[in-house]
Amino acid sequence: MSWKNKVELRELESGDWEISFNNPDMGNIIIPAPLKSQFSCGALIVAGALCCTTGSVLYELDARKPGARYNVIRSSATQSRKLDEKGRVVLDSIDVHVEVDVPEEHRDVFKDVLKEHEDNQCSMVRSLNRGIKAEITLKKI
């Protein structure tokens, strides 16, 4: 099974960038002008890993016990960057932390959720760990 989704970026008059995910459930985001801000594109990759892991934890509980919910779920991720062999900055690692307040009646099922994540991770993290192939086409118009 394979499918594609096109994400588009356009520069606004202000120099900021607007990213469209072409998804009716997700609004566009505005990125500050890259030459005038401290914004890091790595933050988008980290956010993807964070959202995927957190969403997967929610999904896995519901898949095992439909309608089951956690009391509270909080997550954060930290990115580490380093210089590669050419002295250029690369994203070296992502450390995702998820804290879950599991109601007593779901704790046995949560053990299965933890096992699923230890064995398989979420699709984004699994993809990052496998090394996502990226092909770039750059042309003058």
Are residue 7 and residue 65 in the same domain, yes or no?
Answer: no
> Does residue 138 fall inside a structural domain?
no
Write down the pTM of the prediction. 0.88
Average pLDDT over residues 5-12: 96
For residues 31 and 46, state if they share a domain: no
Give the whole-number percent of the chain exceeding pLDDT 90: 91
Domain count, the chain: 2
Question: What's the alpha-carbon Rg for the chain, to the nearest Å?
Answer: 18
Say if residue 35 is in the same domain as residue 45.
no
Decide if 24 is inside a domain.
yes
Task: Give the three-class secondary structure for 140.
Answer: coil
Domain range enclosing 8: 1-39
Do both 2 and 17 map to the same domain?
yes
**66 and 96 both lie in a single domain:** yes
Give me the pLDDT at residue 34, please.
86
> What whole-number percentage of the chain has pLDDT above 70?
100
| pLDDT tens digits for range 27-75 | 999 999 988 899 888 999 999 999 999 999 999 999 999 999 999 999 9
Tokens describing residue 7: 């994400």
**CATH at 121:** 3.30.300.20
Contact 61, 69 (CB under 8 A): yes
Q: Is 79:46 a contact under the CB 8 Å cutoff?
A: yes
